[in-house]
């Protein structure tokens, strides 16, 4: 098996993050296959990476090491790796490390392989910050250029941890975001995979509300368009939980009217028949409160996602999840299955309740 030379940083007492007591000249081995970040003896192939461990601490120890076993590499940086068998060859002083790391020209800082850096440990050029691979950065640990923030692989970011460009927020994969954890563009909200959202958790575009899968909603949890209400799969609704479109009337001074130019609230139909309830009574009822538990869309965190979902929604690496959309009758079934028997009885006690009509609308026939 080919030997692989590298460098490893230890605490001042020659222990490491793997909780071994190391000693120069000795070999350390485990039986398991190495997995970077989880199992194995971690080390760096590039001397510059030794400065990525955090704040510079002159009391830490550094040694040249040799990997004698299997090697597993960091998914995003193949200069960072681990092995299941390692030899601690000899100790290097920090002065020797800085000498090895400084390969560039015209640097006033330390450990630079790039040129004209006033900061330290830069492989790019003209950086006043630290640990930059890109150029013209005043922030630190940037792979992109012209960043005043930190940990950016994109460019022109004043925020941090951005792979996109021109972000003032953090953790953005898209561009021109002032919010954070957006894979879309031009978002002031958070966790958006769509664009031009001032709300949050949107996969659609142009939403001022949150948790919308389509566009131009000021409400929440909508899979339809142009809704100011919530949880609509239809379009242009100011009410909630509608699968149709254009619900609620116009030019009314009273409340909850489906007509136009009305000043008094009307009694409503329930299950295709006249009832003694107004819409206000319905909205104030326990039955209505129970229906608000139904969701057509829901945020699915990345750690709960299946491998298939991760492949279908690659932007979830940035947003830490995605907005899962359910069709109307699936959402109804999930809502009904989540109710207690007492809550189901409240629904069945709605005036004029008709099981056949209820099934036609919701798909639920377990009543």
Query: pLDDT for 142-165, tens place per residue?
Result: 666 667 776 667 767 777 667 777
Judged against a pLDDT cut of 80, whether residue 259 lies above it is answered with no
Beta strands 80-83 and 71-73 are: antiparallel
Partners of 5 in the β-ladder: 66
Task: Report CA-CA distances (Å) from 327 to 287, 301, 339.
Answer: 22, 20, 19
- Write out the E strands in the chain: 4-10, 27-29, 41-44, 61-67, 71-73, 80-83, 85-92, 267-270, 273-278, 297-301, 321-325
**pLDDT-derived band at 236, boundaries 50, 70, 90:** low
* 235: Cα separation from own chain's centroid: 28
Beta strands 80-83 and 297-301 are: unpaired
Q: What angle do CA 283, 219, 162 make, to 5 degrees?
A: 150
Among candidates 162, 150, 137, which has minimal Cα distance to 52?
150
Q: Kindly list the domain boundaries of the chain, sorted by start residue.
A: 4-100
* The pLDDT value given to residue 48: 74
pLDDT per position as a tens digit, 96-135: 776 666 555 545 555 565 655 666 556 666 566 665 666 6
d(CA 325, CA 337): 18
Give DSSP secondary structure letters for 334-351: HHHHTS-HHHHHHHHTST
* 69: Cα separation from own chain's centroid: 36
* The pLDDT value given to residue 8: 92
pLDDT per position as a tens digit, 269-324: 999 999 999 888 998 999 999 999 888 888 888 888 899 989 998 888 888 888 88
């Amino acid at each position: 098996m080919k030997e692989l030379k590298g460098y490893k940083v230890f605490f001042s007492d020659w222990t490491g993050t793997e909780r071994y007591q190391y000693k120069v000249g000795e070999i350390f081995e485990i039986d398991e296959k190495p997995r970077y970040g989880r199992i194995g003896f971690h080390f760096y192939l590039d001397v510059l990476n030794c400065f990525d461990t955090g704040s510079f601490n002159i009391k830490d120890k550094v040694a040249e090491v040799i990997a004698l076993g299997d090697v597993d590499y960091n998914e995003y940086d193949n200069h960072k790796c681990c092995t299941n068998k390692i030899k601690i060859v000899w100790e290097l002083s920090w002065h020797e490390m800085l000498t090895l790391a400084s390969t560039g020209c015209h640097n006033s800082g330390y450990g630079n392989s790039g040129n004209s850096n006033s900061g330290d440990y830069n492989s790019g050029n003209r950086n006043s910050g630290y640990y930059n691979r890109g150029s013209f950065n005043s922030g630190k640990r940037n792979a992109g250029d012209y960043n005043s923030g930190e940990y950016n692989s994109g460019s022109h970011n004043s925020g941090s941890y951005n792979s996109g460009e021109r972000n003032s927020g953090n953790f953005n994969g898209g561009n021109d975001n002032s919010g954070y954890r957006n894979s879309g563009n031009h978002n002031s909200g958070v966790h958006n995979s769509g664009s031009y959202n001032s709300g949050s958790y949107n996969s659609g575009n142009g939403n001022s509300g949150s948790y919308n899968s389509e566009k131009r909603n000021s409400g929440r949890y909508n899979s339809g368009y142009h809704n100011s209400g919530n949880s609509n799969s239809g379009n242009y609704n100011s009410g909630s939980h509608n699968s149709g479109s254009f619900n609620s009337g116009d030019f009314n001074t009273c409340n909850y009217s489906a007509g136009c130019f009305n000043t008094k609230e009307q009694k409503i139909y329930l299950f295709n028949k006249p009832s003694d309830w107004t819409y206000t009574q319905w909205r104030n009822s326990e039955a209505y409160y129970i229906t608000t538990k139904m969701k057509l869309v829901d945020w699915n965190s990345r750690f709960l996602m299946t491998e298939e979902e991760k492949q279908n929604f690659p932007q979830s690496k940035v947003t830490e999840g995605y907005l899962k959309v359910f069709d109307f009758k699936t959402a109804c079934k999930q809502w009904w299955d989540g109710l207690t028997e007492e809550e189901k009885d409240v629904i069945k006690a709605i005036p004029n309740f008709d099981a056949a009509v209820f099934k036609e609308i919701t798909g639920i026939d377990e009543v």
